[in-house]
Amino acid sequence: MSQRILIVDDERSIVTLLNYNIERAGFTTDVAYDGLEAVKKCENNDYDLIVLDLMLPGMDGMEVCKHLRSSKIDTPILMLTAKDDEFDKVLGLELGADDYLTKPFSPKEVIARIKAILRRVQKAAPTDFQSIKVGDITIYPERYEAEFNSKVITFTRKEFELLYFLATNKGKVISRDQLLSGVWDYDFVGDTRIVDVHISHLREKIEPNSKKPIYIKTVRGLGYKLEEPS
């Protein structure tokens, strides 16, 4: 069965172009022309990836992305925008987008990004489902969850992949560039702020006091490490 892609854009000429080329690449497609329609379709259908325009009527791409992630819909998102704005890029990734492409773009580039994201998702999925225990935290790879003192903690897909990567390298100092490569498998032009944002989100979920972390430690000038609390 071919993988299913949802295309979300209010410009019908772009939807037609994307639809033609994505189907030609062997995928099945569905379309939405505004943010509210996209959210409704994502809530009622399973997609392997969403191509999401930033500038949409009613509910823009950022709002769609935020709503899907808060609803625990972790379908990979390739965000499209006419803005070449670094802040928008980081904010989009912070809200849960997997990649970012600026208009105008070539259809070949879109297909290449789609395939790269799907490869990254498959590669990042845990293959060893044995639980990992660090202090009072128990990580369950098969459920994309963890427990802290028997209380269940849920994560976005990318948050969990980051936690899992740190846990499987427990005690090791991992640089931000290594985390970008190991978790995102993508070079965000040397911009490691997305790593710091996700580390902050993880700390809010697993640390007793996120301002004084005892699990995820910052090693100044080097990166981060996950360790047993002292």
Domains and CATH numbers, the chain: 4-124 (3.40.50.2300), 132-226 (1.10.10.10)
- More reliable by pLDDT, 188 or 105: 105
Q: What is the pLDDT at residue 74?
A: 86
The residue ranking higher by pLDDT, 192 or 81, is 81
Amino acid at position 158, single letter: K
Kindly report, residue by residue over 119-153, the tens digit of the pLDDT.
Answer: 877 766 666 678 899 999 999 988 888 998 888 99
pLDDT at 186 over 70: no
**Average model confidence (pLDDT) across the chain:** 88
Percent of the chain with pLDDT over 70: 91
Task: Give the pLDDT mean for 206-213.
Answer: 93
For the question of whether the overall pTM of this predicted structure is more than 0.85, the answer is no
Backbone angles phi, psi at 9, to 5 degrees: -160, 140
**CA–CA dist 183, 166 (Å, integer):** 10
**Backbone dihedral angles phi then psi of residue 74, each to the nearest 5 degrees:** -105, 25
pLDDT in tens, 211-230: 999 999 999 989 999 999 98
Specify the DSSP element, H or E, that contains 67: helix 61-70
Residue 75: per-residue pLDDT: 93
Helix axes 86-94, 61-70, angle to 10 degrees: 20
